[in-house]
Structure 1
């Protein structure tokens, strides 16, 4: 069994990764978290792009002898010049509910045609043997609603509307979300690249 360490403590994110990777890879894998390998510190995400932050995080398990994988993902809103971007998780400084309230305040009065937004996910894989790292990017386009809808998912999912399905990410089943999401796109592409290496 191949062990991959996802540089995260977010159990929902870990579950999404594990589901998509197990569907995509023909190899028997186990996804471990930072806690599982005894890393309890904080990783400073000081990159200016999603790709840089994913690489920084994936480098931590690799430095401990594991294959490290990480994603950095977030919401970019065209009307807000790409904000919150790499600051998505800490945009308000107070968690998901406050982040959503802040976005709603900043987008108040903005017409639907100017509410375009994109979920972006960069996935990096860093190997302990110093092989060339892998890096992929997944993007999902949508619109921001004027109110939250749905109870599923996490983060900005209740505000992110996917027009072709007529639902927010928070209204989708995990299977529906994984099929179209930025993370699903990135992790499936990452799986293809990883399959040829492992």
Structure 2
């Protein structure tokens, strides 16, 4: 079975991606934690540039097919921030909770009309053997809640309110999330492209 390495150290993300692609005839594996790989400097100006840079660098280092993503939260009132800096918003040392509490603080007192937001994900696949590069994008629109809720998910999920569910992203099941989340939508597109490219 052919292998595709998920170029991420985020265990939540790895499990989510592996579960999504479980019906494909590929062996999806996370990065080996024993490997001491150099950090990928995410200096791109867009999600696509960063996702491709991660996938290209890891594919070259490992000589494997690599899947990588870059995703983030874009808040309208904050002019699109945290955006591509979502993972290190407020400083690299902050944990997930500290990051989303910072967003809530910046939106304090703002009405729902000014709390519109979107999760955006770009996924890139780089195959060094067949010289294939694929990128796809997924987007999920919602509203920044006034307070966090839910135990599922990770990152900014507890403050991302989905009006159609009357729940935050952290309150819905993984199955529901895979259908409507930014990453779920991007993964669905990637699954189609992988089937087309490797049939």
* TM, length-normalised to structure 2: 0.93
**What is the aligned partner in structure 2 of residue 98 from structure 1?**
98
**What is the aligned partner in structure 2 of residue 66 from structure 1?**
64
Distance in 2, matches of 1:196 and 1:39, equals: 34
Gaps of 5+ in 1: none
Any residues of structure 2 matched to 1:163-174 within 5 Å, and which?
A: 163-174=163-174
Tell me, yes or no, if the aligned pair for 2:104 and 2:146 is still in contact at 8 Å.
yes
Tell me, yes or no, if the aligned pair for 2:151 and 2:171 is still in contact at 8 Å.
yes
**What is the aligned partner in structure 1 of residue 48 from structure 2?**
51
**What is the aligned partner in structure 2 of residue 10 from structure 1?**
10
Tell me, yes or no, if the aligned pair for 1:89 and 1:95 is still in contact at 8 Å.
no
Distance in 2, matches of 1:130 and 1:102, equals: 44
Give, in angstroms, the shift of residue 37 of structure 1: 7.9
Structure showing greater relative contact order (alpha-carbon pairs closer than 8 Å, 6 or more residues apart): 1
Give, in angstroms, the shift of residue 130 of structure 1: 5.5
Number of aligned residue pairs: 195
Gaps of 5+ in 2: none
Give, in angstroms, the shift of residue 2 of structure 1: 1.7
- Aligned with residue 32 of structure 1, among 9, 29, 32: 29
Give, in angstroms, the shift of residue 129 of structure 1: 2.5
Distance in 2, matches of 1:50 and 1:21, equals: 22
**What is the aligned partner in structure 1 of residue 184 from structure 2?**
184
Tell me, yes or no, if the aligned pair for 2:72 and 2:119 is still in contact at 8 Å.
yes
**What is the aligned partner in structure 2 of residue 77 from structure 1?**
75
CA offsets 1:119-156 (integer angstroms, 9 cap, x no match): 00000011112523100000000000010000111000
Q: What SS does the corresponding residue of 2:157 show, helix, strand or coil?
A: coil
Q: What SS does the corresponding residue of 1:133 show, helix, strand or coil?
A: strand
Tell me, yes or no, if the aligned pair for 1:125 and 1:135 is still in contact at 8 Å.
yes
Q: What SS does the corresponding residue of 1:22 show, helix, strand or coil?
A: coil
Distance in 2, matches of 1:107 and 1:13, equals: 27
* Structure 1 residues 39 and 5: alpha-carbon distance in aligned structure 2, compared to 1, 3 A threshold: farther
